[in-house]
Structure 1
Amino acid sequence: MSVLLVIPARYASKRYPGKPLALLTGAGGESRTLLERSWQAARSVDKIDRIVVATDDARIEVAAQEFGAEVVMTSPDCANGTERCAEAHAALGGGFDVVVNLQGDAPLTPPWFVEALVEGLLRDPTAGLATPVLRCDGATLSALKEDRRAGRVGGTTAVFGAERQALYFSKEVIPFTEQAFAADEPTPVFHHVGVYAYRAEALAQYPDWAQGPLETREGLEQLRFLENGHRILCVEVEARGRRFWELNNPEDVPRIEAMMREMDMA
């Protein structure tokens, strides 16, 4: 099974313009861009045949080439990372069985999260794509709820059925729970990790579908697959002592840098 990994990156983020070029300082005091740290995370994944950065912005193209990444230029009309991945795969001539979307705002993504997705698609031929979910402990659940109370769009949560098929994804904290949990206590809430592994044929269909009301309301690209009847496999992953958070807002920079120091990430 041949695997292409794409890091979609755009400069014109509504919530955080220029986000891919934001600097993150690691435990050793060295500052690198969010984009470079995401590329480093991609390079640590096993059994990936090719890695490319997909962008529509010359500033990101130059920055990526400076640290040695291969770049595919895509249209500014791409509505989200999935459309950009589809366009990048087509621009490369296709031919890959699986396309991984490692979004450029997730530099803390452990390699085994991505590897588990490819393995999940191998085991489940009915799924058009796979995405990881991570059971929240009490501390993570509290952070998600605090973001919502503060009016920030933070992490996404997921609910799924008995066979791990996705039922829904939301930027609200679902399922609802008022129970109090200790910081290290498991909770019934699953944090959706914004990484996807698509079968090439499912990805190719995506740009032809119109945005549905759920995708439009939530601003979550994966809901377009659910709205068009495609099965999404939720693969539960384990942190193995690693902390995870995505960079969604400027306020997330110090949070991620603290996690990097905690995990002694240079």
Structure 2
Amino acid sequence: MSVLIAIPARYASSRYPGKPLVPLRGADGVSRTLVQRSWEAAMAVKGADRVVVATDDDRIRDEALGFGAEVVMTSSDCRNGTERCAEAHAVLGGGFDIVVNLQGDAPLTPHWFVEDLVAGLRADPASEVATPVLRCDGRALNGFLDDRRAGRVGGTTAVFGHDRQALYFSKEVIPYTTRRYGDEEPTPVFHHVGVYAYRPAALSAYPGWEPGALETLEGLEQLRFLERGRRILCVEVEAKGRQFWELNNPEDVPRIEAMMAEMGMA
């Protein structure tokens, strides 16, 4: 099965304009942009046949070409990363069996998250979309709760059934809990990792559906699949000692840089 990894990157983020071009300093003191670090994460994935940056912005295009990425220019009409991935796949002529959306705000995504995700979708022919979930330890959950108390949108959480099919995703912390956990203590909350693997038929259908009420309220693109009755497989992944965080707000930059320093990531 051939695999395309697309990294959707737009400049006009409502919460953080210009986010793909934000520099992140590694443990070696060298700064590289968010889009470059996301591309480097994608290039480390085993089994990917092609990796592209999908954007509608010339500044992001020039930055990506500068560090050696392949770029696919897409329309400014794309409403989210899934629509941009669908357009990129079409521009490339289609033909891939699985399209991975490695969102450009997750530079700490380990390669095995994506590899496990693709393997999970291959093993479950009934699912049209798959996405990774990571059980929060106390450190991560307490960070989510602190963000919400401060009025910030932090990570997204997921709940799913015994069959691992998604029930819901939210920017609130679900299931409900207010307990403080120890840093290394496992919790009942799963962090939704912002990566998706799609079968081409589901991906190509997606832009033709209007966003529903839940997607609009939460601002979460994957809810469009659930609102249309499509199955999303939640693939549990393991951190293996790696910290994971997404860059959603300017306040996340020092947090991610601190994590990179602690893990020795250049």
Which band: TM-score by shorter chain? over 0.9
Q: Which amino acid letter does the alignment assign opposite residue 198 of structure 1?
A: Y
Answer whether contact 2:132 2:236 (CA < 8 A) is retained. yes
Query: Displacement of 1:180 after TM fit?
Result: 2.8
What's the counterpart of residue 18 of structure 1? 18
- Distance in 1 of aligned mates of 2:149 and 2:180: 16
Q: Which amino acid letter does the alignment assign opposite residue 238 of structure 2?
A: E
1:156-211 per-residue CA deviation (whole Å, 9 max, x = no partner) reads 00000001000000000000013331111000000000000001111010001000
What's the counterpart of residue 148 of structure 2? 148
What's the counterpart of residue 94 of structure 1? 94
Q: Which amino acid letter does the alignment assign opposite residue 190 of structure 2?
A: F
1:131-172 per-residue CA deviation (whole Å, 9 max, x = no partner) reads 000000111100000111111111000000001000000000
| In the alignment, structure 1 residue 78 sits paired with structure 2 residue 78 | yes
**What are the equivalent positions in structure 2 for 1:166-205 lying under 5 Å apart?**
166-205=166-205
Q: Which amino acid letter does the alignment assign opposite residue 243 of structure 2?
A: R
**What are the equivalent positions in structure 2 for 1:1-266 lying under 5 Å apart?**
1-266=1-266
Tell me how large the CA RMSD over aligned residues is.
0.5
Q: Which amino acid letter does the alignment assign opposite residue 262 of structure 1?
A: E
Q: 5+ unaligned residues in a row in structure 1: which ranges?
A: none
- Distance in 2 of aligned mates of 1:119 and 1:4: 14
1:101-158 per-residue CA deviation (whole Å, 9 max, x = no partner) reads 0000000000000001110011100100100000001111000001111111110000
Answer whether contact 2:142 2:180 (CA < 8 A) is retained. no
- Distance in 1 of aligned mates of 2:150 and 2:179: 20
Answer whether contact 2:9 2:60 (CA < 8 A) is retained. yes
Give the TM-score, by structure 2 length.
0.99
- Distance in 1 of aligned mates of 2:80 and 2:178: 33
Q: Which amino acid letter does the alignment assign opposite residue 222 of structure 1?
A: Q
- Distance in 2 of aligned mates of 1:105 and 1:141: 19
Aligned residues: 266
- Distance in 1 of aligned mates of 2:16 and 2:249: 6
Give the TM-score, by structure 1 length.
0.99
1:213-239 per-residue CA deviation (whole Å, 9 max, x = no partner) reads 000000000000000011000000000
Query: Displacement of 1:32 after TM fit?
Result: 0.3
Q: After TM superposition, what 4+ stretches of structure 1 lie above 4 angstroms from structure 2?
A: none
Query: Displacement of 1:20 after TM fit?
Result: 0.1
SS in structure 2 of the partner of residue 79 of structure 1: coil
Q: Which amino acid letter does the alignment assign opposite residue 194 of structure 1?
A: G
Q: 5+ unaligned residues in a row in structure 2: which ranges?
A: none
- Distance in 2 of aligned mates of 1:200 and 1:23: 33
Give the share of equivalent positions with the same residue, in percent: 74
- Distance in 1 of aligned mates of 2:178 and 2:54: 41
Q: Which amino acid letter does the alignment assign opposite residue 172 of structure 2?
A: E
Q: Which amino acid letter does the alignment assign opposite residue 152 of structure 1?
A: R
- Distance in 1 of aligned mates of 2:143 and 2:199: 33
Q: Which amino acid letter does the alignment assign opposite residue 27 of structure 1?
A: A
1:1-36 per-residue CA deviation (whole Å, 9 max, x = no partner) reads 000000000000011000000000000000000000
